[in-house]
Amino acid sequence: MSSTIDPRRHRELARLLAQLGLDSSQLDKIAPLGFNWLLVDRALVHPSFSNTYNNDQLEFVGDSVLRLSVSLFLQERYGDRSVGELAALRSHLVSDQTLAKIAGAYDLQKYVVVSNAARNDSQALRSLLADALEALMAALYIATQDLAYVRKWLDPQMQNFAEALLAIPALGNYKVALQELTQGVWKRLPEYRNLPKDLLTGDDNSLPFHVEVWFNDRCWGQGQGKSIKAAQQAAAAIALEEMQKFLAATPQ
């Protein structure tokens, strides 16, 4: 691999960093020998394109850069919350799903060098983009030795996702939220019952697992899913909404 980058590629990378709010002319003044653009280039080369020049090792480092950046963000913005809540938030914020959405917001797919087969694999695209974003974080940190060049554009994204997550009961774990509700009001837990397949009809067979949530001799919600856990979560989400409506309509 050459120690220099093709001018067209350099312009592409500068355009990407500009989307992140980073001024390439300022970056070039950071190090005595100039900003290491090869690191940024390498961060965006998927292993399917090259076995020797790819973002594998940068992605490995980027995982730690990401977790540290997000941990600092959470401690600064939500330091009044428990460590358990912060850990739950962080697990969502560092997920491939979140990273892929951030990558999409910055059109990262346009800059990633990847084989045609991998690019056309929609199943692997989310993981590919998440890995590239982590590798880019590593490249920026290694080249500048300063997390500010990552957090400048990552923090606003994390703020949006964190606020959306905090609006969800129990951070999207409806089973936990339902349990907290029934224990807090009635001091008892709900019961989950698997619905036998021979009782299913019509479209109910589209997903393999079906669950009902029972409490006080009443079924409060039914859910379907590809797993027992998924079906329970779906049922708990419905039950939680119904119980909240019931409590709101019940004179205190």
Question: What domains, with CATH codes, occur in the chain?
Answer: 7-167 (1.10.1520.10), 172-249 (3.30.160.20)
Question: Can 134 be counted among the known catalytic residues?
Answer: yes
Going from the C-alpha of 47 to that of each of 51, 58, 127, 171, 187, the distances in angstroms are: 6, 12, 13, 34, 54
pLDDT tens column, 114-157? 988 777 777 688 889 999 999 999 999 999 999 999 999 999 99
Query: pLDDT-derived band of residue 3, with 50, 70 and 90 as boundaries?
Result: low
Spatial distance between the Cα atoms of 99 and 137, rounded to a whole number of angstroms: 11
Query: pLDDT-derived band of residue 202, with 50, 70 and 90 as boundaries?
Result: very low
Spatial distance between the Cα atoms of 252 and 248, rounded to a whole number of angstroms: 9
Q: Name 108's Cβ contacts closer than 8 Å, sequence gap at least 6.
A: 16, 44, 129, 132, 133, 136
> Looking at residues 205-211, what average pLDDT do you find?
78
Give bridge partners of residue 192 from the DSSP assignment: 213
Query: pLDDT-derived band of residue 2, with 50, 70 and 90 as boundaries?
Result: very low
Spatial distance between the Cα atoms of 160 and 150, rounded to a whole number of angstroms: 16
Residue 26 confidence (pLDDT): 87
Structure pTM? 0.75
> Looking at residues 75-98, what average pLDDT do you find?
89
Of residues 213 and 167, the one with the higher pLDDT is 213
- The active-site residue, picked from 41, 59, 131, 134, is 134
Residue 32 confidence (pLDDT): 62
**CB-based contact 220:246 (threshold 8 Å):** no
- The active-site residue, picked from 63, 85, 180, 241, is 63
pLDDT at 206 over 80: no
pLDDT at 37 over 90: yes
Question: Can 63 be counted among the known catalytic residues?
Answer: yes
Residue 163 confidence (pLDDT): 94
